[in-house]
Structure 1
Amino acid sequence: MLNAIEVILICLVAQAALTDLAVRKIPNVLVLSGLLLALILHLLSSPPWAPLSQWLAGTVAGFFLFLPLYLMRGMAAGDVKLMAMVGGFSGPALALQIAVLSYLIGGVMALLMLGCSGRWRDTARNLGQICKPLLWRLLGMPLLPVPLAPAASVGGIPYGVAIALGTIGVVAWTHH
């Protein structure tokens, strides 16, 4: 049986997914109210030290698990903030599991969207632009700081949907 924290989390990520599908944004008010609600629920249901260990560690873990993709322009800031909120509810261990499952679901979504749009060549060019500096650095070549030229987007992925499905999947798995 799901507890109150899990039910509220599922409702919030479902709302984020629907909003992301409709307007391609995840509202800050949803994320901030979710973070505050998670903290309050942890305070009410746990020993005094639990909010720090569960809420704060989960929030930080969720944030930093998605930050690299945001920094490489592979994801929007709302997705990173949503994952931080999910971590605030779930704690760091489950946040890691949710992030991994969300990455997998997001990858499948990206492949399906690419298959439908037929923009494989543009995607390969963008991926090469992102990975080339990393590859050169791994080969030991010194790099001069050069700003990345803006790449033509091949379409955004509503990653809020992937995060919602990943969250629901991990929560369901913990109760099977």
Structure 2
Amino acid sequence: MMIKTVLIVALLISLITDIKNRKILNIVTTPSVLFALFYYTTTLGLEGFVFSIKGFGVGLGLLLIPYMLGGMGAGDVKLMAAIGALMGTSFVFYCFLYTALIGGLIALMIILKQKGLVITIKTFFYKIVFFQSNVGSIVLKKENQTGISFPYGVAIVLGTLFTLVWGGF
């Protein structure tokens, strides 16, 4: 119960700061990871430490490539790693799946709202037809706007809450 309380507090703070300032703070993620390591090590010994480290690694690994490609901020990656450290590998994997679905729906709604779906599809096929290598960097171009973005921490928080409520698939 204590682990879930720490998780929910970290999620709520991250949600607020990501919406307000577009940042997920290290002051939230780092203590969450340290608490998880301490808690699992003191309650389960070496097995608990390994459980938490594996969860941290899976959480980190799931979002590391999108971060390296510029698709999200480091705070999103650290939040997912903290979730993994707190809840373990299978939980963070299901959390990632829910997060990806929710993030995709949010992105689709934003694109549709900005009436840029047709432009995005045309750009995508243009890049495929003319063999341009940066297909993954499709952006909707508008006046004074270079791309569509939203605070992905919202999707991470919702995906984690869905996992808490419904578990895996």
The bucket for the TM-score relative to the shorter chain is 0.7 to 0.9
Which amino acid in the other structure matches residue 108 of structure 2?
A: L
Which amino acid in the other structure matches residue 33 of structure 1?
A: P
* Structure 2 match to 1:54: 51
Select 1:158's aligned residue among 147, 151, 162: 151
Alpha-carbon spacing, 1:21–1:48, altered in 2? closer, same or farther (3 Å): same
Are 2:59 and 2:89, in contact at CA under 8 Å, matched by a contact in 1? yes
> Gaps (5+ residues) in structure 2?
none
Deviations 1:50-69 (A, max 9, x none): 33321100001000001121
Deviations 1:5-26 (A, max 9, x none): 1121012112101110111111
Alignment of 1:12-161 (within 5 A): 12-44=10-42, 46-120=43-117, 121=119, 125=123, 132-133=132-133, 153-161=146-154
Are 1:123 and 1:154, in contact at CA under 8 Å, matched by a contact in 2? no
Higher RCO (CA < 8 A, seq sep 6+): 1
So what's the TM-score if we normalise by structure 2? 0.80
Question: How far off is 1:124 after superposition?
Answer: 6.5
CA distance in 1, matches of 2:27, 2:36: 14
SS at the partner of 2:23? coil
> Gaps (5+ residues) in structure 1?
136-147
Which stretches of structure 1, 4 residues or longer, exceed 6 Å deviation after superposition? none
> Comparing 67-76 with 113-122, which one deviates more in the overlay?
113-122
Deviations 1:110-169 (A, max 9, x none): 11111222333368648959x95388xxxxxxxxxxxx9xx9642322111111111111
So what's the TM-score if we normalise by structure 1? 0.78
CA distance in 2, matches of 1:32, 1:83: 12
Deviations 1:78-125 (A, max 9, x none): 111110111010111111111111111111111111122233336864
Which amino acid in the other structure matches residue 23 of structure 2?
A: K
Q: Root-mean-square deviation (CA), in Å? A: 2.7
CA distance in 2, matches of 1:97, 1:28: 23
Size of the aligned set, in residue pairs, is 157
CA distance in 2, matches of 1:52, 1:126: 45
Which amino acid in the other structure matches residue 104 of structure 1?
A: L
SS at the partner of 2:106? helix
Alpha-carbon spacing, 1:167–1:133, altered in 2? closer, same or farther (3 Å): same
